[in-house]
Amino acid sequence: MNFKRTVLVTGGSGFIGSHLVWSLVAGYPEWRIINLDILDYCCSPRSLDGLENRDNYIFIQGDVCNPQLVNHIFITENIDVIFHLAAKTHVESSFECPSVFQRVNVDGTRVLLDAAHRAPHRPQRFVYVSTDEVYGTSLDEAFDEGCPLRPTNPYAATKAAAEYLVRSYWDKYQFPIIITRSNNIYGPRQFTEKVIPRFLTLLQNNNKCVPHDARRLTRSSCCSTIQGTLAISRHFLFVSDAVQAFLLVLEKGTVGDVYNVGTSVEIPIVQLARELVRMVKNVTESEVNDWIEFVSSRPQVDLRYPIRSEKLQRLGWRAETSWAEGIRQTVKWYQDNPDFWLDVNEDQRIRKEPEKASNT
C-alpha cells in the first residue's frame, strides 16, 4: 500500500503518545504511523490494544538514545513527520537522578535530531513536545512564547536544554522544527505517579495517607496527600485537546516557532483532591477532609504555571473538553480499569545509573 505520509512518534506507548498514535492511525488511514518506544515503567502495551493489526501502524521497541537504531529508521523508512514525545517527566524523580533525565530528554533529542537532519529523505516537520514548566513559576504574569526560560527543577531544565538543541537545528540548518509547550495534560491511561491518577488510585485503595511518593502506592497505603499548605495550583488540559493542538501545528504552524498549549482551567491542588474525594468516595461534605493529609513540600515547589495561548488560538485551536466532562471521563476510566497498572514494577521508576547507549 502506498502511504501519503510516514509519521514517526517517539514515546507513542506513553500516556500522551498513545492518544496521539490512536488519533493518527484511526484518523489518517492514508498515513503510515511508526511508534518508537522503549516501553518504560509508565507505558503499557495495552494502551494501544487493537492497533497491532492495522495496515498503517508499526511498533518498534527501542531506545531513542540508540543512534544505530534511530539512524536505521531514518535511512530505511523515509520519515516525513516526527512527533518527539519520548521523555522522562516525573519531577520528584528528576531531583533523585537527574543524569537519567539528561540522557533521555537531552541526549535522546540530540540523537533524533541528528538522524533526522542527516536522513536521505528530508522530513517536512519535527514537532517537539515540551512543557510549560520551562518558564518557571509565576504568581501573576501569564507567560507567552517570547518569555525567557527559567526552569526550577531538573526535569524542566532538561526540557529547556532539549528545546535549545531543537532550535539550533532551525537556526543553523533551517531544519523545519516546531515546539509546543503545554499545561498539565490529564485523562485516561495516565500512569499513577501524576497527581490526578495518583489521587484516584489512592482513594480507590481505601487506606491511610502516605507521603507524596509514587513508589509507595500500594494496597496498604491510601488517600490523597497534599504537599505543604501553600496555594499550589495547576492548569489542566484534557488529552484529546492536546492531541488536536499537535495535529493543528503540524498542518498550520509556522516552522521555527513555539506554541503554548494552555487552558483557563486552573485548579488548586487542595480543591482537586476534595473534588476527587466527592466523586470517588461519595461522602458527605463534613467527611471530605478525612481523606486528605498535608505533608511537607519538597524544597522547591512551583506554585503555578500560567501561560497564554493566543498564538495557537489564531490558528483555530480551542480546548473543547470542559473540566467537568474531562474529569468525569477520567474518573470513570480509572473506576472501570482498576488493575491497568498493577503489573508495573515501580522500582523501575528511577535508575540510579543511566543505561549506556553505544556510540553516543
List beta partners, residue 190.
none
Q: 88: domain CATH number? A: 3.40.50.720
pLDDT tops 50 at residue 100 = yes
pLDDT tops 80 at residue 223 = no
Mean pLDDT over 37-44 rounds to: 94
Does any domain span residue 224? no
Q: How confident is the model at residue 344 (pLDDT cuts 50, 70, 90)?
A: low
Indicate the number of domains in the chain. Answer: 1
The helix/strand/coil state of 41 is: coil
pLDDT tops 90 at residue 118 = yes
- Which helix (DSSP H) or strand (DSSP E) does residue 9 occupy? strand 5-10
Which pLDDT score is estimated for 269?
84
pLDDT tops 80 at residue 345 = no
- By the 10 Å C-beta count (0-12 exposed, 13-18 middle, 19+ buried), 358 is classed as exposed
Cβ neighbours for 51, distance < 8 A, ≥ 6 positions apart: 21, 22, 25, 57, 59
Which pLDDT score is estimated for 154?
94
Which pLDDT score is estimated for 295?
64
Which pLDDT score is estimated for 355?
41
Mean pLDDT over 65-90 rounds to: 97
Which pLDDT score is estimated for 141?
86
Mean pLDDT of the chain: 87
Mean pLDDT over 130-145 rounds to: 92
Does any domain span residue 165? yes
Residue positions annotated with a catalytic role: 132-133, 155
Q: How confident is the model at residue 300 (pLDDT cuts 50, 70, 90)?
A: low
Contact 21, 12 (CB under 8 A): yes
Alpha-carbon span 190 to 15, nearest angstrom = 5
Alpha carbon 279 to chain centroid, angstroms: 25
Which pLDDT score is estimated for 139?
81
Which pLDDT score is estimated for 49?
93
Does any domain span residue 147? yes
Q: Which residue has the higher pLDDT, 265 or 294?
A: 265
pLDDT tops 80 at residue 310 = yes
**Amino acid (one-letter) located at 111:** V
pLDDT tops 70 at residue 352 = no
Residue 165 sits in which domain range? 5-186+236-264+303-321
Terminal CA-CA length for the chain: 35
pLDDT tops 70 at residue 147 = yes
Q: Which residue has the higher pLDDT, 1 or 245?
A: 245
Q: Which residue has the higher pLDDT, 296 or 56?
A: 56
Q: Which residue has the higher pLDDT, 56 or 286?
A: 56
Mean pLDDT over 141-155 rounds to: 94
Does any domain span residue 354? no
Which pLDDT score is estimated for 104?
96
Nearest by Cα to 311 from 185, 180, 186, 184? 180
Which pLDDT score is estimated for 356?
39
Which pLDDT score is estimated for 80?
98
Can you state the percent helix, strand and coil of the chain, rounding each to 5?
40, 15, 40
Q: How confident is the model at residue 299 (pLDDT cuts 50, 70, 90)?
A: low
Does any domain span residue 292? no
Which pLDDT score is estimated for 212?
40
Alpha-carbon span 80 to 67, nearest angstrom = 19
In the chain, pLDDT over 70 holds for what percent of residues? 86
Which pLDDT score is estimated for 314?
98
Q: How confident is the model at residue 140 (pLDDT cuts 50, 70, 90)?
A: confident
pLDDT tops 80 at residue 351 = no
pLDDT tops 60 at residue 245 = yes
Does any domain span residue 329? no
Mean pLDDT over 150-173 rounds to: 97
pLDDT in tens, 48-68: 999 989 999 999 999 999 999
Does any domain span residue 9? yes
Does any domain span residue 297? no
Q: How confident is the model at residue 359 (pLDDT cuts 50, 70, 90)?
A: very low
The helix/strand/coil state of 305 is: coil
Tell me the whole-structure pTM to 2 decimals.
Answer: 0.90
Alpha-carbon span 338 to 192, nearest angstrom = 11
